[in-house]
């Protein structure tokens, strides 16, 4: 299909615009009730405008139409024709959602769907919101500004001028004269310098220049600070200022009929401002696979070089030395290459956090609870594929916090807590992992209710439930179908629960832990590897067979004597610093010939909140590996994630730690 490429490009570019739009809208949303920042409104307006243009170009009429309506509404907003009230901001935020929906449809090549209907309804809704035409504004010269100036102002500039006059902000005309060579930089610098204390309503090039090599500008400035401050700022630029009033002398120059915005920026280069390229992640996967193969060649060459040195044999010693040196150089360069590709795959979590923030704000409005939402660590980077897979689990946890975590305002007040609840989404780097926390300062998890629920659902017996410690009890919420919420909530949906979160995280080799204090709140702590493209594996041997265990799930390795094992309810257990951990011998699990040993090497693995000790006969070392999937024919064989090549062209099986953990540790789910 020849259509595919343009669609993918359109979707990629439009998504970027919508994400930018969304960010600015959230800024607007956070400052509801305040006078919107004109810069921000302009940014939103421009984004809607670009999207409209882009969508029409590619023939996506629905997106173009919605963008057009948004653009009109934003124009009305920045011209002060309508107020930035809640209804309008909500409609804008919905607009971003619908646009995302439409883009998703476009990327799948669909022409019909719920998003399309919503788009139509929303467009009409926004139109009615901005429809009532305000009464004719008073003529500007009545505000005490000279007519000659007014003639060259655009509608928007007029509006800003009027706003400032209404607020009683003093107006000045600042005259600056710059050399033709660098006037653009100077003017930009002057604008930047003015920004903290004043709004530049308009910049007018003046015909009255003192000589040919120079150009003069008149800046219509609304200054919130005393004239002395303005003077201090503009003096370094050699500019002068005059207070504007009704009695001010007419501008000596004839108004120049040049559109103001086209003035100093008219000569801008057509070269793209952006120095970035967009790359399909599949291409990076292919590059990574090539690097994986090269790593194997490197391992072989290294061994070859070492062998050549050891054997001596027919080779000249110089030759062997040279080979070793080259092998080391190759190794270093390959490490650089591997790191480079991994870096390219990394994207900031902010990409998904922004989307979540949008959703949370909508949910907050619907929930009627008073909650502050804080985000930090959006700049922490993770593999693009992991970031994408994270959005659903995080969304679920946030919904849970809003819906189950934070109490109603009155209840909070009665507990002596502030009425406003707080939800935090935080990310931070921690060695080779990223830790993401979703926390609330709500009621915390209720042991008794979890216990009752688990028993009533037949997940465990009353006696077992009574024996469970708090940590184990909390972990019951990850069982399929578990929910302590009695009434089905609009927000959290039905059926899907924390078990889905856990499964999704397991697929990403992630861990999840719960920290919950009664009355203090609940925090879910997610620990994730940086990437899955190339993994570090622990190479082990059991009954003479070699296996690879992904290091990301290995917590530690302990040596244990068989006599230190205990048997609890027919299961062998191991004690690691006071924690009891299920134990299994890999050879026994895999039905391989078992030989008695004096010492077990136990690889302690962790998946989500579960721990498991896997005993092996030997530890062979660590290696970076690319995992290849096993044939679809072997889908039913449990406990294996794939196979890899450690450099000797044999297939070495990679253990599927999540599957092994759920096989062995399987919580007391069976009655």
Partner 1 sequence: MSTFEQLIDQFLYRPDEPGLPSLQWLADAPRPESTGVEAPQEFLAFSLTDETYAVPIATVREIVKVPVITEVPRAPKELLGVMNLRGEVLPVYDVRARLLLAGGVQPITGPGDVPAQARIVLVKSESGDAGIITDGVEGVVRLLPSLTEPPPPGGTEKPFLAGLSRRGERLYILLDVEKVLE
Q: What minimum distance in Å lies between the beta carbon of 284 and partner 1? A: 18
Contact between 304 and partner 1 by CB under 8 A: the answer reads: yes
Contact between 326 and partner 1 by CB under 8 A: the answer reads: no
Contacts 24+ apart (CB under 8 A), 123-126: 123/65, 123/66, 123/69, 125/91, 126/69, 126/70, 126/73, 126/88, 126/91, 126/92, 126/95
Q: What minimum distance in Å lies between the beta carbon of 606 and partner 1? A: 22
Among 278, 303, 411, 419, binds partner 1 (CB under 8 A): 303
Q: What minimum distance in Å lies between the beta carbon of 290 and partner 1? A: 10
Burial profile 239-260: b = 16 or more Cβ within 10 angstroms, e = fewer: bebeebeeeeeebeeebeeeeb
Q: What minimum distance in Å lies between the beta carbon of 383 and partner 1? A: 22
Q: Are strands 371-376 and 421-430 parallel, antiparallel or unpaired?
A: parallel
Residue (227 or 311) nearer to partner 1, CB: 311
Residue (257 or 314) nearer to partner 1, CB: 314
- For 348-373, give the secondary structure using H, E and C: ECHHHHHHHHHHHHHHHHHHCCCEEE
Residue (490 or 648) nearer to partner 1, CB: 648
Residue 147: CB partners within 8 Å, gap ≥ 6? Answer: 141
Q: Which residues, 606 to 665, sit near partner 1 by CB under 8 A?
A: 628-634, 637-640, 642-643, 645, 648-653
Residue in the structure block whose two tokens are 């391992």 = 299
Contact between 121 and partner 1 by CB under 8 A: the answer reads: no
Dist CA 445 CA 345 (whole Å):
37
Residue (570 or 649) nearer to partner 1, CB: 649
Contact between 276 and partner 1 by CB under 8 A: the answer reads: no
Return phi, psi of residue 165, to 5°: -65, -40
Q: What minimum distance in Å lies between the beta carbon of 303 and partner 1? A: 7
Contact between 308 and partner 1 by CB under 8 A: the answer reads: yes
Q: What minimum distance in Å lies between the beta carbon of 1 and partner 1? A: 25
Among 293, 326, 335, 446, binds partner 1 (CB under 8 A): 293
Choose the stretch contacting partner 1; rule: CB under 8 A; options: 222-230, 311-319, 420-428, 476-484: 311-319
CA 178 to the chain's CA centroid? 44
Q: What minimum distance in Å lies between the beta carbon of 634 and partner 1? A: 6
Dist CA 284 CA 335 (whole Å):
16
Residue (482 or 590) nearer to partner 1, CB: 590
Contact flags string 545-574 toward partner 1, x per CB under 8 A: x-----------------------------
Q: What minimum distance in Å lies between the beta carbon of 285 and partner 1? A: 14
Q: What minimum distance in Å lies between the beta carbon of 453 and partner 1? A: 35
- Residue from 607, 581, 354 nearest 504 by CA: 607
Dist CA 286 CA 280 (whole Å):
10
Burial profile 18-53: b = 16 or more Cβ within 10 angstroms, e = fewer: bbbbbbbbbebbeeeeeebeeebbebbbbbbbbbbe
Choose the stretch contacting partner 1; rule: CB under 8 A; options: 147-155, 235-243, 299-307, 601-609: 299-307
Contact between 307 and partner 1 by CB under 8 A: the answer reads: yes
Size of the site for partner 1 (CB under 8 A): 37
Q: Which residues, 577 to 606, sit near partner 1 by CB under 8 A?
A: 589-592
Contact between 246 and partner 1 by CB under 8 A: the answer reads: no
DSSP string for residues in 644-667: E--SSS--EEEE-HHHHHHHHT--
Residue (116 or 659) nearer to partner 1, CB: 659
Dist CA 214 CA 182 (whole Å):
10
Among 228, 310, 318, 568, binds partner 1 (CB under 8 A): 310
Q: What minimum distance in Å lies between the beta carbon of 86 and partner 1? A: 57
Residue 555: CB partners within 8 Å, gap ≥ 6? Answer: 604, 605, 606, 611
Per DSSP, helices labelled H in 401-526 are: 409-414, 447-456, 462-467, 470-475, 498-507
Please tell me the number of Cα atoms within 13 Å of 601 on its side-chain side.
Answer: 15
Residue ranges that bind partner 1, judged by CB under 8 A:
293, 300, 303-304, 307-308, 310-315, 545, 589-592, 628-634, 637-640, 642-643, 645, 648-653
């Amino acid at each position: 299909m020849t259509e595919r490429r343009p669609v993918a490009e359109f979707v990629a570019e439009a998504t970027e615009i919508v994400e930018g739009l969304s960010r600015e809208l959230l800024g607007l949303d956070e400052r509801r009730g305040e006078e919107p920042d004109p810069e921000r409104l302009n940014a939103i307006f421009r984004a809607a405008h670009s999207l409209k243009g882009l969508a029409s170009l590619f023939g996506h009429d629905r997106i173009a139409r919605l963008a057009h309506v948004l653009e009109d509404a934003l124009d009305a907003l920045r011209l002060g024709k309508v107020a930035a009230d809640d209804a309008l901001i909500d409609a804008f935020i919905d607009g971003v959602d619908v646009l995302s929906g439409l883009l998703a449809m476009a990327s799948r090549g669909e022409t019909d769907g719920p998003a399309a209907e919503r788009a139509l309804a929303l467009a009409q809704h926004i139109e009615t919101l901005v429809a009532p035409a305000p009464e004719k504004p008073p003529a500007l010269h009545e505000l005490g500004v000279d007519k000659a100036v007014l003639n060259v102002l655009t509608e928007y500039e007029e509006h800003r001028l009027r706003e400032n006059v209404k607020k009683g902000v003093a107006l000045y005309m600042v005259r600056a004269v710059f050399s033709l060579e660098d006037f653009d930089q100077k003017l930009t610098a002057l604008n930047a310098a003015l920004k903290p204390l004043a709004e530049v309503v308009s910049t007018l090039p003046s015909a009255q220049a003192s000589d040919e090599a120079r150009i003069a500008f008149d800046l219509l400035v609304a200054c919130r600070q005393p004239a002395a401050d303005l003077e201090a700022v503009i003096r370094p630029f050699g500019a002068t200022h005059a207070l504007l009033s009704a009695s001010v002398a007419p501008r000596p120059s004839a108004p120049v009929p040049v559109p103001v915005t086209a003035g100093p920026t008219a000569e801008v280069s057509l070269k793209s401002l952006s120095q970035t390229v967009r790359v399909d992640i599949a291409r990076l996967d292919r590059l990574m696979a090539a690097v994986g193969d090269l790593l194997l060649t490197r391992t072989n060459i290294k061994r070859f070089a070492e062998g050549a040195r050891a054997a001596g044999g027919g080779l000249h010693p110089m030759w062997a030395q040279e080979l070793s040196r080259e092998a080391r150089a190759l190794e270093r360069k390959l490490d650089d290459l591997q790191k480079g590709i991994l870096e390219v795959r990394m994207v900031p979590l902010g990409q998904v956090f922004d989307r979540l923030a949008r959703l949370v704000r909508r949910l907050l409005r619907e929930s009627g609870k008073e909650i502050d939402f804080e985000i930090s660590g959006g700049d922490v980077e993770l593999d693009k594929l992991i970031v994408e897979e994270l959005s659903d689990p995080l969304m679920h946890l946030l919904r849970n916090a809003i819906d189950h975590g934070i109490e109603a305002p009155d209840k909070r007040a009665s507990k002596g807590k502030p009425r406003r609840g707080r939800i935090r989404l935080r990310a931070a780097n921690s060695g080779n992992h990223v830790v993401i926390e979703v926390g609330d300062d709500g009621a915390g998890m209720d042991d008794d209710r979890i216990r009752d629920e688990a028993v009533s659902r037949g997940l465990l017996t009353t006696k077992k439930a009574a024996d469970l410690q708090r940590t184990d009890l909390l972990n019951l919420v990850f069982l399929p179908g578990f929910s302590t919420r009695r009434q089905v909530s609009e927000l959290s949906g039905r059926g899907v629960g924390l078990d889905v979160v856990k499964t999704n995280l397991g697929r990403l080799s992630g861990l999840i832990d719960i920290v919950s204090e009664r009355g203090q709140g609940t925090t879910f702590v997610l620990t994730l590897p940086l990437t899955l493209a190339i993994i570090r594996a622990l190479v082990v041997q059991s009954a003479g067979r070699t296996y690879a265990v992904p290091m990301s799930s290995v917590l530690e390795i302990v040596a244990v004597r068989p006599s230190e094992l205990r048997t609890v309810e027919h299961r062998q257990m191991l004690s690691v610093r006071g924690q009891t951990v299920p134990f299994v011998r890999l050879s026994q699990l895999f039905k391989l010939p078992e030989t008695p040993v004096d010492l077990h090497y136990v690889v302690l693995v962790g998946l989500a909140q579960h721990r498991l000790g896997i005993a092996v006969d030997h530890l062979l070392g660590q290696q970076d590996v690319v995992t290849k999937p096993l044939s679809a024919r072997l889908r039913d064989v449990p406990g294996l994630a794939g196979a890899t090549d450690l450099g000797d062209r044999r297939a070495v099986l990679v253990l599927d730690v999540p599957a092994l953990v759920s096989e062995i540790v399987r919580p007391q789910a069976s009655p």
